[in-house]
């Protein structure tokens, strides 16, 4: 077995966080979709897919390392957003939180001299820079648009801030 009990526990918890993010992003996407904002909706549907891919990376790693997968239950995601800004701010807060979780897992892998685990987690460390930065950009665009949310749609149509299929590889 190439994974310690502690890291296995942490990775299983992270599977829950990634799936929870996926569900949260489906709610945010459908909030925009229902409001006839297809670009914002597509952006968050894409994020939801990415988070599912992240969860599955942890699943496959635990199996490959000879551990036991135990997908935890997740809390009901938030659905009652009052504004685009509130929804995007919630997403940014979530990504900052996930970055801390990934850093904590990396700290644990380092403290255990688990080099294979560190190598696996490195992908997530880099990915979080992308995730936080993308969400931060989107928040500032939404902020600048103020009450003219169609300007955000126009911005996203002209400047896709997340490329198609990004994060879906591997
Ligand atoms: Fe993620
Ligand atoms: Fe994410």
Distance (Å) from CA 163 to ligand 2 centroid: 14
pTM of the predicted protein model: 0.93
Distance (Å) from CA 117 to ligand 2 centroid: 20
CATH number of 5-158: 1.20.1260.10
Distance (Å) from CA 110 to ligand 2 centroid: 23
Distance (Å) from CA 124 to ligand 1 centroid: 8
Distance (Å) from CA 94 to ligand 2 centroid: 8
pLDDT digits (tens, 9 = 90+) for 141-166: 999 999 999 999 999 999 988 765 45
Ligand nearest to C-alpha 55 = 1
The per-residue pLDDT for 170 is 40
Distance (Å) from CA 62 to ligand 1 centroid: 16
Distance (Å) from CA 41 to ligand 1 centroid: 18
Distance (Å) from CA 146 to ligand 2 centroid: 25
The per-residue pLDDT for 163 is 61
Compute the distance between CA of residue 61 and CA of residue 140 in angstroms, rounded to an integer.
36
Distance (Å) from CA 124 to ligand 2 centroid: 9
Compute the distance between CA of residue 131 and CA of residue 127 in angstroms, rounded to an integer.
6
Distance (Å) from CA 14 to ligand 1 centroid: 9
pLDDT band at 42; cut points 50, 70, 90: very high
Compute the distance between CA of residue 91 and CA of residue 162 in angstroms, rounded to an integer.
15
8 Å CB contact between 155 and 141: yes
Q: DSSP H helical segments within the chain, as ranges?
A: 5-34, 38-64, 84-111, 115-145, 150-158
pLDDT digits (tens, 9 = 90+) for 129-140: 999 999 999 999
**Of 160 and 8, more confident:** 8
Distance (Å) from CA 42 to ligand 2 centroid: 15
């Amino acid at each position: 077995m190439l994974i310690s009990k502690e890291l296995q526990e942490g990775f299983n918890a992270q599977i829950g966080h990634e799936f929870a993010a996926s569900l949260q992003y489906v709610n945010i996407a459908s909030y925009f979709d229902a409001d006839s904002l297809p670009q914002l909706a597509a952006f968050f549907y894409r994020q939801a897919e990415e988070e599912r891919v992240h969860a599955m990376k942890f699943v496959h790693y635990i199996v490959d390392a000879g551990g036991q997968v135990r997908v935890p239950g997740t809390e009901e995601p938030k659905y009652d957003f009052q504004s685009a800004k509130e929804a995007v701010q919630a997403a940014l807060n979530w990504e900052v939180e996930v970055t801390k979780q990934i850093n904590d897992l990396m700290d644990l892998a380092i403290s255990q001299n688990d080099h294979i685990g560190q190598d696996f987690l490195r992908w997530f460390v880099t990915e979080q820079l992308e995730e936080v930065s993308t969400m931060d950009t989107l928040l500032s665009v939404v902020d600048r648009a103020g009450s003219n949310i169609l300007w955000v749609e126009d911005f996203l149509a002209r400047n896709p801030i997340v490329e198609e299929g990004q994060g879906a590889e591997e």
